[in-house]
Amino acid sequence: MTKIVLIPIDLEHKSSWQKALPTAVDQARILGGKVELMTVVHHIVGGLDWRYAIRGAEHGSLNYDIKDFVKQAEERLSEIAKEYIPDELFNGVVAKHGTIYEQIVETAEEIDAELIVMAAHRPSLKDYLLGPNTARVARHAHCSVQIVRG
């Protein structure tokens, strides 16, 4: 069975993968495994008609679906993977929608990940703190978690 290294990234913040992605590739080589790249499309704020928030009140669309966001995220992940993950180490991409840490932990279980590699924080947090999602993943994951400091 192939050992999978899962690397969740935030497509909005290059710092979430700039150092963590090369680390995940290195770990996959060490384990003799492959890298799976993932992202989680953030929840839309409750009470907000997100169809109109996306395009402005005059250009909202009932046909605009969260599935479109997920598809666009998968396409962007594929672009990043082509650029940074060697073909022989690439396992695939996955984009999900929901609570970030829950989706990461669930995905790691679904793909039977050996390791999760993720960044320690967003650029706005102090170096001594883990971001809330990173800390929750480290606490709840059923596999090892490697945290890469930016």
Instruction: Indicate whether 108 belongs to any domain.
Output: yes
Instruction: Indicate whether 125 belongs to any domain.
Output: no
Instruction: Indicate whether 32 belongs to any domain.
Output: yes
Q: How much is the pLDDT for 107? A: 97
Instruction: Indicate whether 128 belongs to any domain.
Output: no
Between the CA atoms of 23, 40, 14 and 112, what dihedral angle is there, to the nearest 10 degrees?
A: 10
Instruction: Indicate whether 47 belongs to any domain.
Output: yes
Q: How much is the pLDDT for 122? A: 54
User: How many domains does the chain fold into?
Assistant: 1
Q: How much is the pLDDT for 60? A: 47
3-class secondary structure, 55: helix
Q: How much is the pLDDT for 28? A: 97
Q: How much is the pLDDT for 47? A: 46
User: Tokens 């679904």 map to which residue?
Assistant: 110
Q: How much is the pLDDT for 133? A: 86
Q: pLDDT by residue for the chain (150 residues), tens digit each?
A: 679 999 999 998 888 889 999 999 999 999 999 999 999 987 554 444 555 555 544 444 455 577 888 899 999 999 999 999 999 999 999 999 989 999 999 999 999 999 999 988 655 545 445 568 888 999 999 999 999 986
Q: How much is the pLDDT for 72? A: 92
Instruction: Indicate whether 132 belongs to any domain.
Output: no
Q: Which residues contact 84 (CB under 8 A, 6 or more apart)?
A: 21, 22, 25
Q: What is the CATH number of the domain that holds 81?
A: 3.40.50.620
Domain span including residue 8 = 4-119+141-148
Instruction: Indicate whether 37 belongs to any domain.
Output: yes
